[in-house]
Structure formats: C-alpha cells, structure tokens
Amino acid sequence: SQKIEQNSEALNIQEGKTATLTCNYTNYSPAYLQWYRQDPGRGPVFLLLIRENEKEKRKERLKVTFDTTLKQSLFHITASQPADSATYLCALDHSTDKLIFGTGTRLQVFP
Amino acid sequence: DAGVIQSPRHEVTEMGQEVTLRCKPISGHNSLFWYRQTMMRGLELLIYFNNNVPIDDSGMPEDRFSAKMPNASFSTLKIQPSEPRDSAVYFCASSLAAGATETQYFGPGTRLLVL
C-alpha cells in the first residue's frame, strides 16, 4: 500500500544550526511534493512545492530536495531560529486533485 | 481576507449525539477539502469538492459521516451518531482551483471530543 513516512521523533537542534527533515514514500510516483508548517492549535500553512523534474527548490532560509530514485524529499532550514519550532508536514499528490499528508515531524530549536 | 473560517472551534458532545461542523472557504476558491487529524493517523483527507460538487469521498470513514456544500461559501460536515473514536481535530481547507499543485489554505480547525 502507499505510504509516506516522516520521522515521528522530535528533532531538537540548537539555534543557528541547519535542521534537516526527511520525507520518504513507498508505492507512489508523485509528480509534486509540498511542505507545510503547522503550529500548535492551528492549521497547516503552505511553505514550498517542488516538482518531480526539479531537484532542488529554495525560499529564503528553506531548501527542499526531491529524489525520485530514492523516493525521498529533504527539507532544510538553515540558520534555524526558535521561531522555526513547529511541526512540518510533507504532502504528495495522490491524483490530479488530492494530496496525501505525512504524519509530520516536530522541530524544536533551542536558543 | 479573513481566511478559511470554521465553527465551532471546540465541540464537546456525548456519544450518540449529532455533530455539525461548519466551514466558510476563502472567497473565490473553487475547491474545498475536509480533513481529520489525530496523533495516530495524522492528517487524513475525508472528502473534497470542486465547484460545490463532491468529487471524492473515499476517505469518509463510514455512513455516519456526511458532507454537503450547498453553495460556494459554505460547507458542513455532519457526524450522526457520534462515537468516541471520532474525537479529533477536523480541518477545512480551500484552494483557488483543483489540482495537486494548488496551495491549500487551512482553517483553524474544530477540536471535537466525543465522550
């Protein structure tokens, strides 16, 4: 069956370091992958979209990679700040209209 | 724009009662999605609409769940009768158009607790 895996354990890093979150998928061939941020008690907020023919996408301190051979996306936050602390969700297209979300990884950035 | 509006924000009810969750999408958005989020299963798509028409309800857990979108600015998700296992946060999201490349804008969610 189709499956999206994100590290369920929280990622704790020190301010200023680069945070790297992983999204792995199986039995999928997605054309697009999105990353969302979710703060406690709030809905997810869109961050970035990357297409299967794009190896890398950047937006300010964020960088996303998409490796269709490894079936993996990496999400990087450089020069991390305590304000980056949140849960980050990856989402893959399951059909032309639907997104399937991973369970998310909680990031905690300590000053 | 006020964003996606959901009501109520919190709902506590007893098993067997009917629960109705409401959503107002962003004006001009043509697609609307209902999700359920739990710790165990994450964010699951229940149903989505394009131009007020239900397109895919394969995520609706069972017949106790129903959703309607009578017009472009309003949708409801109803659970009847509710059960404790329905306890979760329910999100409504909207997007400008259909398609997996479209950004989905989420509401604040309704936290449902069924006793």
pLDDT digit string, tens, across residues B7-16? 999 999 999 9
Model confidence at B40: pLDDT above 90 = no
The mean pLDDT value for B57-75 works out to 94
Position B1 pLDDT exceeds 70: no
B44, B100, B109 ranked by CB distance to A96: nearest: B100
Judge whether residue A58 has pLDDT over 90.
yes
**A49–B50 C-beta distance less than 8 A:** no
pLDDT at A98 over 90: no
- pLDDT for the residue B38: 93
A42 contact B CB<8A? yes
- Taking CA atoms, A29 is separated from A24, A70, B69, B81, in Å, by 12, 11, 31, 38
pLDDT at A28: 81
Residues of B in contact with A104 (CB under 8 A): 42-43
> What one-character-per-residue DSSP string does chain B give?
----EEE-SEEEE-TT--EEEEEEPPTT--EEEEEEEETTTEEEEEEEEETTEEEE-TT--STTEEEEEEETTEEEEEESS--GGG-EEEEEEEESSSSTTSPPEE---EEEEE-
Q: Residues of A73-95 as b/e, b for ≥16 C-beta within 10 angstroms?
A: bbbbbeebeeebbbbbbbbbbbe
Nearest CA in chain A to B101: A32
Query: Which tokens in the block code for residue A41?
Result: 């008690």
Predicted confidence at residue A29, as pLDDT, reads 83
Average pLDDT for residues B87-99, to the nearest whole number?
A: 94
Determine, for residues B42 and A100 on separate chains, whether the beta-carbon distance falls below 8 Å: no
Cα B90 from Cα B44, distance rounded (Å): 9
> Do A97 and B99 lie within an 8 Å CB cutoff?
yes
Q: Reply yes or no on whether the pLDDT at B61 is more than 70.
A: yes
* Closest partner CB to B42 (pick from A42, A96, A102): A102
If you average pLDDT over residues A50-71, what whole number do you get? 93
* pLDDT band at A81; cut points 50, 70, 90: very high
Nearest to A34 by CA among A87, A94, A80, A99: A99
